[in-house]
Structure 1
Amino acid sequence: MTDSYRRQIDKLHDDVRRGRLSRRDFMIRSAAIVGAGALPVLPFGARAEEPASGGFMKLGLHNASQNDSLDPGTWSTSWTGASFNGGVFNNLVEILPDGSVAGDLAESWELDSGAKIWRFKLRPGVVFHNGKSLVAEDVRQSLLHHMKPDSTSGARAIVQQIETINADGPETVVITLTEGNADLAYLLSDYHLSIYPALDGGGIDMESGVGTGAFLLESFEPGIATRLKRNPNYHKNGKPYLDEVEFINIPDATARLNALLTGEVDFIQDLDIRNVSLVERSGDFAIVRTPSLRHFTFDMDTRVAPFDNPDVRLALKYALDRQDVIDKVFLGEGAIGNDNPVASIQKYHRDLPAREFSIAKAKDHLAKAGVDTLQIDLSVAENAFAGAIEAATLYQEHAAQAGININVVREAADGYWENVWRKKPFCAVDYFGRATVDWLFATSYVTGAPWNSGWSNAEFDALHKAARAETDEEKRGADYGKMQEILRDDGNVITVAFVSWRDAVSDRVGFGEVGGLMPLDNMRLCERWWLKS
């Protein structure tokens, strides 16, 4: 009987890994099985060991750039998010592994006037790495950094909602919004919104690398490595567990795997799907699959012809056989994206009719656009997303049947996010997703959003404004559902697939429940993980 229950639990785990089951449904169904069979089940992805202190962990990541800097407004990858925001700095709040929001530098908060006024009380006793005490002005200046008139910060869509920021004494920050938004606490967890020391006369100190985080910045070589050393005065009791952490940039997937197998690193990000069986057969390593909001896309710049034509965009969407890509590139570990960036595990997800691969419909929309054939470039790189080059090559084969000739341009991996994404008119993109639908839309799809590639839709913008202020859940859900329909049919993003985070670790690495709303345990891996003693 016990073996039967255990097989059921294993089947549920496999369904979550392959995107067929949400984490929430996993917990509900596994609890029912446990109740019947009295089996111990850990939170998804967790290990049973108690945390151990000490040790030096090395992490093999792939998306560092020589253009990386300590300016938080420029951060756009898991490298900067996990090493800087998750290691050296903190936010007012953080996202816990279960997806809930909790205080970090803020001890508590209150909201008033229809979620328009927010008061954050700072945690007492927090000090920066240089011994300076955290005060409200540090928070104020850190947020103002992203609010400059010429700001290109990735958090601009969040801070644009702020009307004023005031310090009510040294321990309280009062944020007044232009209109109410009950999601503000979630929004302030954005990895760009790290809290820096304020400078005399205004601004923040971005030169010294001084934060309040779990680690001190020991060295930083852009595009190569970042090394961190334990902060002995960290405000979270018992954390971090590690003495040192090093982030090492290894863009090539095979080289990352070899670094893990030879002991050069203890953890690698984005294990190549073709190497899963090799790792699973080993007793010295394990694979960590974490359900996520992550999705891979091909983005079109609608300011550039022919992508400014909605029928061309629809032709390109119908000309991609997503299931073929999932089967051949991701070996079945993924879910069809359906040109909707809202994940099925996310609140307000609208289950829309699937967009089937159709050469006939692709040709029909080309005809409506007044063309018989298209010749376009699609920019990709090894680190655009795992399998991007192979996915683009398959897309090239699919689209050719409709008279769409795609030239796959292999760009340099280093600098891809600065030189290609939102610079080239058609390119591959790896989106982490965002904890709330409002946040996702405000970051990438509302007109003028910081990560918008020129797409604009007046109805979409109006619905976004209405939904943000709507307190009736049913009406708010209806607005967000309609916005997803607009994105599917008019938007500039071809959503290829939703996938889980798939990383590989040495057996000497310990961790608890792993958060999946953002990569690397919601960017907090180096604070939350440990090495076994």
Structure 2
Amino acid sequence: MKDKFIERQRRLLRQGRLSRRDFVASVLSAGVVLPSALTMADRVQAATPKRGGDLKIGMGHGSTTDSLDPATYENGFMTHTGYLWGNSLTEVAPDGTLRGDLVEGWEATPDARVWRFPIKKGVTFHNGKTLTVEDAIASLNHHRGEDTKSAAKGLLSDVEEMRADGDTLVVTLASGNADFPFVLSDYHLLIMPSDEGRVDPTAAIGTGPYPLDTFEPGVRVTATRNENYHREDAAWFDTVELLAILDPTARQNALMNGSVHLIDRVDPKTANLLGRAPDVTILEETGYLHYTFPMRVTMAPFDNYDLRMALKLSVKRQELVDKILMGYGTVGNDHPLSPSVPFHAADLPQREFDPEKAAFHYRKSGHSGPIQLSASDAAFAGAVDAAQLIAASAAEAGIEVEVVREPSDGYWSNVWNKKAWCACYWSGRPTADWMFSSAYVDDTEWNDTDWRNTDAAQKFNRIVDEARAELDQQKRGELYAEAQRLIHDDGGALVPMFANHVMAHSNALAHGEHVAANWELDGNKASQRWWMA
């Protein structure tokens, strides 16, 4: 009875229906000693969102080539920027479940081909226009068509028709897709106001919690709270400022000296030391993040299967986890599905360092001379060191790897998806189909291994199509296991490790019980989900 009473008082204090003084007095009367009563009050009030304050975030992303067009977003800085000014139709909640963002919910036909999404009423854009189904259709169409360069093109390639049925968006797919509502939460698919069926993708006009005040590519973004935001349970800060601080040491120093309240991509090597600072909390979340070294299979020498296999066998994966992640992660197996993702192929044999087999495949490839590996810590903290470790282990198999240290600025536009072999990271996706559609199917712009035309790649694409429409979960699991095997064997993806999201924040900040792990910084929505303690 006492516990129920105290919990009720906590709830009243959290809801603002009880003052701090009255809360303390009431729990004292229930037999709680004064220090404990005061601590209870502090914890309840810290966990209760409140408006006010100016949030500053230091991010290990950003490039001077960044654009406001959501079709081009390719790093965490722009993802977070997009979520300041815009919303998608659905979103991944902090607990990992899917919920409506600009839609009330969804329903589908039994074959998962026709989906209905009722649009939320009363939502307005920053320019005053009321959200309509036509806005959703025009925004999604921005990523479709022959001429689009959108990274989300592959996600929507199966859409046959979109139409309005009153205030409901009706989407018809060429084949069933049980995960389609998840697809619509993609950060590229922000909803913009339309005019005669078209949108202005660089205007940054959306329905989001913080309309942009300034945008300096690769430098900073400032934004002010949208007083007409359609959600009452979000957007607690008065203003938000994002700062691109690519150097991990500079980012951590900014947190410790109070220049920012929150940083992403804490260097695992210094995480323990940073956590000793009196006003800093280290936050670690296990999700889908993985660090990769994609080999473009259409560029020599990676167009040779045996060379790719030689390199995959020449990596000491546990060494990378121990020395680069400092244990904040686990070994990868040359495919993109982490053990946290449904349909992860746990039965696929783990690839190990095997210098003899690596040397065998290398000799069979007929290659000689150095193989260049481009790297920059813009890819992930410790990417250059990881490349050096790969070069060292490859040398044990008689393979010469030359590490090319690339500039951080412009890395994502000048190196990734262009150079034959480079360091990369993928935050991953909450479903297998979404991950495959983002980076591995033949019609996505972000197929950074360019793995499209081998026999195995073509088989993989057929399997992904079949699995997408398969509603029998056992059969679907078998198909996805085969898809992972094909990438693991034939693909150009060298995936040596899955990394935990390691962030750090000032104790002046507070957040809810759950912190999303689909992207770093609470799904890149800390600016709208967190508050000042």
Both structures adopt the same fold (TM-score exceeding 0.5):
yes
State the Cα distance separating 1:375 from its structure 2 match: 1.6
Distance, in Å, in 2 between the alignment partners of 1:326 and 1:108 is 40
CA contact (8 A) 1:340 1:487 kept: yes
Task: State the 1:333 CA deviation.
Answer: 1.8
Structure-2 separation of matches of 1:492 and 1:47: 51
Query: Whole-Å Cα distance in 2 between the matches of residues 333 and 210 of structure 1?
Result: 38
Match of 2:56 in 1: 58
1:476 corresponds in structure 2 to: 476
1:220 paired residue number: 215
Q: What letter is aligned with 1:217?
A: L
Question: Matches of 1:175 and 1:296 in 2, distance apart?
Answer: 34
Aligned pair partner of 1:101 in 98, 102, 108: 98
Paired letter, 2:267: D
Q: 2:406 aligns with which of 378, 397, 411?
A: 411
Q: Deviation of residue 53 (structure 1)?
A: 1.2
Alpha-carbon distance, 1:283 to partner: 2.0
1:175 is aligned to: 171
Partner of 2:118: 121
Equivalence for 1:527: 528
Q: 1:63, CA displacement in angstroms?
A: 1.2
Q: How does 1:30-429 map to 2 (within 5 A)?
A: 49-84=47-82, 86-112=83-109, 114-169=111-166, 171-199=167-195, 201-351=196-346, 352-371=348-367, 373-429=368-424
The 3-state SS of whatever aligns with 2:194 is coil
Do 2:433 and 2:464's aligned partners in 1 also have CA atoms closer than 8 Å?
A: yes
> Is the contact between residue 86 and residue 192 of structure 2 (CA under 8 Å) also seen in structure 1?
yes
What SS class does the counterpart of residue 300 from structure 1 fall into?
Answer: coil
Q: Given that residues 108 and 121 in structure 1 are in contact (C-alpha distance below 8 angstroms), is that contact kept between their aligned partners in structure 2? A: yes
Gaps of 5+ in 1: 1-45
Contact 1:214 1:230 survives alignment (8 Å): yes
Report the residue type matching 1:517 in the other structure.
N
Give the counterpart letter for 1:165 in structure 2.
Answer: M
For 2:276 and 2:60, locate their aligned partners in 1 and report how far apart those are by CA, in whole Å: 24
The 1-side partners of 2:286 and 2:258 are apart by 27
The aligned counterpart of 1:509 is 509
Verify the 8 A CA contact 1:448 1:454 in the aligned structure 2. Answer: no
Deviations 1:278-337 (A, max 9, x none): 222122001010111000010001111110111111100011111111212222222000
Q: Secondary structure at the match of 1:215?
A: coil
CA contact (8 A) 1:47 1:510 kept: no
Please give the alpha-carbon distance, in whole angstroms, between the structure 1 residues aligned to 2:45 and 2:56: 19
Q: Which amino acid aligns with 1:264?
A: S
Cα distance in 1, alignment partners of residues 219 and 66 from structure 2? 10
| Larger Rg belongs to | 2
Post-superposition Cα deviations, 1:465-521, rounded to whole Å, max 9, x if no partner, equal: 211111211111001001111111111011121011001100101011100012221
Distance, in Å, in 1 between the alignment partners of 2:194 and 2:320 is: 48
Structure 2 CA distance for aligned equivalents of residues 333 and 466 of structure 1: 35
What displacement does 1:256 show? 0.5
Aligned length in residues: 483
3-state SS in 1 of match to 2:482: helix
Secondary structure of 2:106 counterpart:
strand
Give the TM-score normalised by structure 2: 0.89
Does the C-alpha gap of structure 1 residues 256 and 463 become closer, same or farther in structure 2, counting only changes over 3 Å? same
Offset, 1:113:
5.2
Partners of 2:322 and 2:412 in 1: how far apart? 27
User: Percent identity of the aligned residues?
Assistant: 42
CA contact (8 A) 2:57 2:260 kept: yes
Question: What stretches of structure 2 of length at least 5 have no aligned partner?
Answer: 1-43
* 1:82, distance to aligned residue in structure 2 (A): 1.2
Question: What is the alpha-carbon root mean square deviation over aligned residues?
Answer: 1.4
Q: Is the 8 A contact 2:144 2:153 kept in 1?
A: yes
Aligned: 1:448 with 2:449: no
Task: Give the C-alpha shift of residue 374 in structure 1.
Answer: 4.2
Q: Secondary structure at the residue paired with 2:400?
A: strand
What's the CA shift string for 1:206-251, capped at 9, x where partnerless?
A: 3432110111111111110001100101111142111111000111
Cα offset, 1:48, TM superposition:
6.3
Pick aligned residue for 2:434 from 427, 430, 439: 439
Compute the displacement of 1:370 (Å): 2.9
Helix, strand or coil at the partner of 2:351? coil
Contact kept in structure 1, 2:334 and 2:495, CA below 8 Å:
yes
In the TM superposition, residue 341 of structure 1 has moved relative to its aligned partner by 1.0
**Shift, 1:168, TM fit:** 2.2
Contact 2:176 2:470 in 1 (8 A): no
Q: 1:273: Cα distance to partner?
A: 1.5
* Code of the aligned partner of 1:483: A
Residue in structure 2 matched with residue 30 of structure 1 by the alignment: none
TM-score in terms of structure 1 length: 0.89
Q: Measure the CA separation in 2 of the matches of 1:516 and 1:238.
A: 20
Question: 2:123 is matched by which residue type in structure 1?
Answer: V
Task: Answer yes or no: is the 8 Å Cα contact 1:60–1:247 preserved in 2.
Answer: yes
The one-character-per-residue Cα deviations of 1:363-420 (angstroms, maximum 9, x if unpaired) are: 111122234x442111111111111000001111111122211111111111111111
Which shifted more, 273-282 or 305-314?
273-282
Question: Alignment partner of 1:384: what SS?
Answer: coil
Determine helix, strand or coil for the equivalent of 2:281.
Answer: strand
Distance 1:382 1:47, change over 3 A: farther
1:274 maps to a residue whose letter is: K
Q: Deviations over 1:51-89 (max 9, x none)?
A: 1210001000021111111111100111111121x2110
**What SS is found at the alignment partner of 1:404?**
coil
Q: What secondary structure is seen at the aligned counterpart in 2 of 1:377?
A: strand
Local SS of the residue matching 1:166: strand
